[in-house]
Amino acid sequence: MSNLTILRSYAQKAHPETLPPSVLLGFSDKTLTIFDAYPKSVFHFLILPRIRPPLTVFDLASLRTLLKADKAHARSVLDALSEEAEKTKRLIREEMGKRYGYEWDIWTGFHAVPSMEHLHLHVLSADLCSPSMRHKKHYNSFHPTRGFFLPLEDVRGWFDAEPSYLETMRELKKSAYEPLLKEDLACWRCGAAMKNMPTLKAHLQEEWEKEEKAQKAKLQRKRKREEVPEDAAEKKSRLSTAALPCGESDTV
DNA sequence: GTTCTAGAAC
DNA sequence: GTTCTAGAAC
């Protein structure tokens, strides 16, 4: 089932609800959100634009083709993807809380050189811990500062710069981006060099556990901060009640 | 993605 | 010698 045009076949569906729930998370008039078949993080979804005139299946083939289409329409596709990404992020945060008891970052962006046809926005939790994360090129393609992963907000920003900037960036040449996938492995959090994937994966797992501890400690501190003012308010009300007979309650 | 192979690591 | 890993071919 894993061929190069599977995403296109999803995006072309007039009735996305016919897709199995194992594939489809949800859809709107303009977009469709699916589970990545090979998640590279704990949470990993793809948001696809549906075919809506005047844009064609060809315009929506990739980020490259979209950015060469009519500017206003291209921008509105990115806006629709962004809106849906925000909803997906809220859902992920809820799930993080339920399943793990804390929340961590979520990335949204495109691969500069996609491996499958039809534009797809990646929405994934910032951990890169997953059994499907197996090869160097998988990892480097999501490394947040390698350059291959293009954050959605950066791409939207290209529209606001000089027109020539968009014209340059939209080339998305394979020859410029593919070499980034072959760069040496380094932890995206601490920058430490890793000699191979098993070492990197063990390290990322540790980093994620550190994040969990840090976030949970933060939650504890927050709870304590929130307890103290409540206590103080209770004491204050008790004191003022006690002080009432003296008529000095408002100075406590 | 899977399969295959060469070379490294043990 | 066996196992593991990365990279190429498909």
As ranges, strand B nucleotides with an atom below 7 A of a protein CB are: 1
* pLDDT-wise least confident of A67-71, A158-162, A168-172, A173-177: A173-177
- A249: pLDDT confidence band, cut at 50, 70 and 90? very low
pLDDT of A26-70, one tens digit each?
A: 999 999 999 999 999 999 999 999 999 999 999 999 999 999 999
- A2: pLDDT confidence band, cut at 50, 70 and 90? low
Compute the average pLDDT of residues A169-174.
93
- Residues near A102 by Cβ (< 8 Å), separated by ≥ 6? A96, A212, A215, A216, A219
As ranges, strand C nucleotides with an atom below 7 A of a protein CB are: 4-7
Residue A251 has pLDDT above 50, yes or no: no
Compute the average pLDDT of residues A166-178.
93
Q: What does each C-alpha distance from A196 to A10, A80, A183, A205 come to in angstroms?
A: 35, 38, 12, 14
Domain boundaries of chain A, sorted by first residue:
5-226
The reported pLDDT for the residue numbered A171 is 94
**Distance between the alpha carbon (CA) of A197 and the C1' atom of B8, Å:** 14
- Residues near A185 by Cβ (< 8 Å), separated by ≥ 6? A136, A139, A140, A193, A194, A195, A196, A197, A200
Closest nucleotide to A200: CA versus each C1': C5
Q: What is the pTM of this model?
A: 0.88
Closest nucleotide to A199: CA versus each C1': C5
Q: Pairing mode, if any, of strands A106-111 and A44-49?
A: unpaired
**Distance between the alpha carbon (CA) of A238 and the C1' atom of B1, Å:** 68
Closest nucleotide to A132: CA versus each C1': B1
Nearest-CA residue relative to C1' of B2: A2
The reply to whether A184 has its C-beta less than 7 Å from any atom of strand C is no
Instruction: Place domain A5-226 in its CATH homologous superfamily.
Output: HIT-like (3.30.428.10)
The reply to whether A38 has its C-beta less than 7 Å from any atom of strand B is yes
**Distance between the alpha carbon (CA) of A244 and the C1' atom of C5, Å:** 78
The reported pLDDT for the residue numbered A229 is 66
**Distance between the alpha carbon (CA) of A195 and the C1' atom of C1, Å:** 25
Compute the average pLDDT of residues A197-210.
93
